[in-house]
């Protein structure tokens, strides 16, 4: 599955674009930094409550998600819900628009990945640094 296929799936959900942001590997895939096979989405509290009424909640301690095909809507417990880095509203407000969708800006993504510190996150931080150094305007 390509980033374009995932975005088509997302478009079918008809979510209000001002109430979500794509994070994780999707933000890397949209910029051609590395492949992405799914989309992780952060949504506002209001949109989360609406989606919970329609879709089943998946709980894998300590994380709550809503999974819709290759789209994972991240809830309580997600690394991207760390208020010491940024609120969901701030992530949405500072997002980059790519393919007519909001994607987390790379500086914030880097901070979240550094904090999480898993091997794949450390690898992504290196890829982000390389991308940013090659794309300074």
Q: Are 75 and 57 contacting, i.e. CB atoms less than 8 angstroms apart? A: yes
Is the pLDDT reported for residue 115 higher than 90? yes
For residue 19, the tally of other CB atoms under 10 A from its CB is: 19
**Complete edge-to-edge strand list for the sheet that includes strand 57-60:** 57-60, 63-68, 71-74, 39-43, 20-23, 101-103, 96-98
Q: Which pLDDT belongs to residue 2?
A: 82
φ, ψ of residue 120 in degrees (nearest 5): -65, -30
Taking only the tens place, the pLDDT of each residue in 2-61 is 888 899 999 999 999 999 999 999 999 999 999 988 899 999 999 999 999 999 998 887
Residues 84-99 have pLDDT tens digits of 999 999 999 999 999 9
Domain range summary for the chain, segments of one domain joined by +: 3-105
Q: At what angle do helices 119-134 and 106-116 cross, to 10 degrees?
A: 150
pLDDT on residue 137: 57
């Amino acid at each position: 599955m390509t980033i374009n296929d995932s975005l088509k799936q997302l478009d079918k959900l008809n979510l209000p674009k001002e109430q979500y942001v794509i994070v994780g590997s999707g933000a890397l895939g949209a910029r051609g930094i590395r492949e992405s096979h799914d989309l992780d989405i952060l949504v506002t509290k209001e949109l989360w409550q609406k989606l919970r009424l329609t879709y089943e909640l998946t709980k894998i301690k300590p994380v709550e998600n809503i999974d819709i095909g290759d789209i994972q809507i991240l809830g309580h417990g997600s690394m991207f819900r760390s208020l010491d880095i940024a609120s969901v509203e701030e992530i949405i407000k500072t997002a980059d628009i790519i393919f007519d969708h909001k994607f987390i800006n790379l500086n914030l993504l880097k901070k979240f990945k550094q904090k999480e510190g898993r091997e794949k996150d450390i690898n992504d931080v290196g890829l982000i640094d390389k991308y940013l150094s090659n794309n300074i305007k």
